[in-house]
Copies of this chain bind each other. A is one copy, B any other.
Amino acid sequence: MATLFDAHDVEIAWCPGCGNFGILQALKETLDELGYRPQDVVVVSGIGQAAKAPHYLRVNVFNGLHGRSIPVAFAIKAIRPELLVIAESGDGCMYGEGGNHLLHAIRRNPDITVLVHNNQVYGLTKGQASPTSGEGFRSKAQPWGNLSRPLNPLSLAISQGAGLVARAFAGDKEGLKGILKEALNFRGFALVDILQPCVTFNPVNTYAWYRERVYYLGEDHNPEDQIAAFQKSLEWGDRIPLGVFYRNPQPTYEMKVEGRAKKRRNLFEEEEFQRVLQEEFAQFL
């Protein structure tokens, strides 16, 4: 389906069949259906296969450093709260190199949405274990199999009382769109971990593997219940729940500093500049 957000003249560098395509399409359609204009959207990314996604969207793009999309997104939103700000990258980028920023962004609760293309592997660097790779996952860098337990991003975010915490699957566009809509509409920090098959480097977590396991959280799940959300987030194996696990509305960072923007003074204007100068110099006399 064509959308307002289709990029032109940009060649997509992903492998055919990659789960990233599904995410890209779902995001374009969601933005369109929510009525955004491209110029009102900024997508910030890091480095990796997933991190190329913003280039394939017709939006404002800041494709920064590996692991560092969240601080950039935070600041863009702080300065321009009227824009829709999305941070989008891979599991290595967001949970590995960038883990500390995720942790602390949750505490600030900026009104940004973090989309993680979680293929449980480092794609762009050719297949090393990522923070979410299963124990025993083999690669050239881990021929003995991954020795670490996988990071659980949902449990992590829920444990810190994040605004909205969800999991989606790249292989189900409509389901993914529904979750993206909830996340983008949410006022506050929203994390969407998107299960994304990597057809080249992850022979374990394939489309089929996910399809056999995923199911959507039902009506009986209460996303306002932190304990229930936590419990659900631990479920991973034969059954993998999708949907909004947790929802914890709270004042956003931008609301808290809103008052300040109104006091901003135009120092590019000589008279105002002189006024401030005199006020300030007087402090040092």
Contact = CB atoms under 8 A, between A and B. Distances in A.
Contacts of A149: 106-107, 109, 160-161, 250
A150 interface: yes
A107 B159 contact: no
Contact of A253 (B147, B161, B257): B147
B104 A147 contact: no
A150 B109 CA distance: 11
A151 interface: yes
Which range holds the interface residue count of chain A? 20 to 34
Contacts of A168: none
A48 to B, nearest CB: 17
Contacts of A274: none
Nearest to A257: B147
Given A99-B104, A107-B151, A151-B103, A159 B156 contact: yes
A152 B226 CA distance: 14
Most B CB within 10 A of own CB, among A100, A159, A234, A256? A159
Closest 7 CB pairs of A and B: A159-B159, A155-B159, A107-B148, A100-B100, A99-B100, A147-B256, A99-B103
